[in-house]
Amino acid sequence: MSNDKGYVEPGQDFQRDTNYIEDRITADGSSGWPVEVGRYRLVVARACPWANRATIVRRLLGLEHAFSMGICGPTHDERSWTFDLDPDGRDPVLGHERLQEAFLARDPQYPRGITVPAMVDVPTRAVVTNDFAQMTLDFSTQWTAHHRAGAPELYPEHLRAEMDEVMQRVFTEVNNGVYRCGFAGSQRAYDRAYTRLFTALDWLAERLADRRFLMGDTITEADVRLFTTLARFDAVYHGHFKCNRQKLSEMPVLWAYARDLFQTPGFGDTIDFPQVKRHYYVVHRDVNPTQVVPQGPDTANWLTPHGREELGGSPFGDGTPPGPVADGEEVPAEHGAGGSVSV
């Protein structure tokens, strides 16, 4: 299962299952899982917005050397994500064919959803945590000894109280809000979800009208969390999830903000548009029974000028952007902005 996991009672709202393995990898090891270079493997899928957060934060902080990354294919069945992108259909480090194997190694009777992102303990090949929200905050706060020189402070202590409020609203109203629209069990539930989503997007547009990023002049975790939904909006959520008051490209402030981030190293270079579309349109058979994947939209507009520099600030402040994408982790050029729309 993906992080789309949840349920809809007939005629009711979509309810997300948020019951994750909440173990943490900590600097002092008090959790039982100490920070240790080379011990863990981050398992993601390019298609998943929740996993996309982890790929972005790992890259921004320069943690590629600290823990490796395995990439599942864009589709999955009812059992779990699979490593079908690897030459022999197995993750080369863990040896698993399915992410489910890592969860069953942890608990042979594991009863819940098999989700990405997941941090897996390489020696035991067992999952440590799939708590996506805490995971990226821990990348910022627990792995600091292994951050690259010039890495941004994505969860600055003096902003945390306000950031937590902003991120909670982004999660409930936007990240989860698009799903609430897409999986609504009745017209009434959909209408409520639609209103909530666009109310929140209007609030975000107002907030971003006079500040370059959500918390001010530099990027933070809050921007990462909003970006992964915005990057999928026109390709998937506008049509597939019926979030169609406007396309993102028709919302001037949010569209410029999203392009600013997309063109920042660490953001757009993690987006694989064909995989995103294939995941949603193929896996969500209840929403798209034919599994036909649309050809559009054209993604070349993601590389057009955004003009957000006029607001001042810079993505990395006094720091520096990350270097080139690690070998083997590149998104194919034809899958990014301006590339082929084929799937």
Tens digits of residue pLDDT in 290-328: 999 999 999 999 999 999 999 999 999 999 999 999 999
The pLDDT of 257-275, averaged and rounded, is 98
pLDDT over 60 (residue 3):
no
DSSP structure class, residue 31: T
One of 20, 40, 155, 179 is an active-site residue; which one? 179
What class does CATH assign to 157-335? mainly alpha
127 forms beta bridges with 120
Among candidate residues 103, 107, 133, 88, the one with its CA nearest the CA of residue 1: 103
The string of pLDDT tens digits covering residues 160-176 is: 999 999 999 999 999 99
What class does CATH assign to 6-146? alpha beta
pLDDT over 70 (residue 177):
yes
Rounded CA separation 343/328 (Å): 20
One of 20, 48, 194, 243 is an active-site residue; which one? 48
- Given pLDDT bands bounded at 50, 70 and 90, which one contains residue 9? low
pLDDT over 80 (residue 191):
yes
Rounded CA separation 206/210 (Å): 8
Binding residues for glutathione: 81
Among candidate residues 78, 55, 104, 31, the one with its CA nearest the CA of residue 269: 55
- Given pLDDT bands bounded at 50, 70 and 90, which one contains residue 155? very high
Q: Which string of b and e fits 279-307 if b means at least 16 CB within 10 Å?
A: bbbbbbeeebeeeebeeebebeebeeebe
| pTM of the predicted structure, to 2 decimals | 0.94
Structure tokens at 150: 């010039």
According to DSSP, the β-strands at 40-45 and 6-8 are unpaired
Q: Is 179 a catalytic residue?
A: yes
Asked whether 44 and 224 are in contact (CB, 8 A), the reply is: no
Domain ranges in the chain with CATH number 1.20.1050.10: 157-335
What's the CA angle centered on 222, arms 174 and 116, to 5 degrees? 70
According to DSSP, the β-strands at 118-121 and 40-45 are antiparallel
The pLDDT of 253-261, averaged and rounded, is 98
pLDDT value for 341? 44
pLDDT value for 77? 86
- Given pLDDT bands bounded at 50, 70 and 90, which one contains residue 6? low
pLDDT value for 17? 53
pLDDT value for 337? 83
> Which residues, at least 6 apart from 176, have a Cβ–Cβ distance to it below 8 Å?
16
User: CA–CA distance from 13 to each of 20, 45, 50 (Å)?
Assistant: 21, 26, 21
Q: What single-letter amino acid sits at 179?
A: Y
pLDDT over 50 (residue 340):
no
pLDDT over 70 (residue 78):
yes
Q: Which contacts of 202-206 are long-range, i.e. CB under 8 A and separated by 24 or more positions?
A: 203/169, 204/170, 204/174, 204/254, 205/251, 205/252, 205/253, 205/254
Q: Is 190 a catalytic residue?
A: no
Domain ranges in the chain with CATH number 3.40.30.10: 6-146
Q: Give the whole-number percent of the chain exceeding pLDDT 90.
A: 90
The pLDDT of 227-248, averaged and rounded, is 98
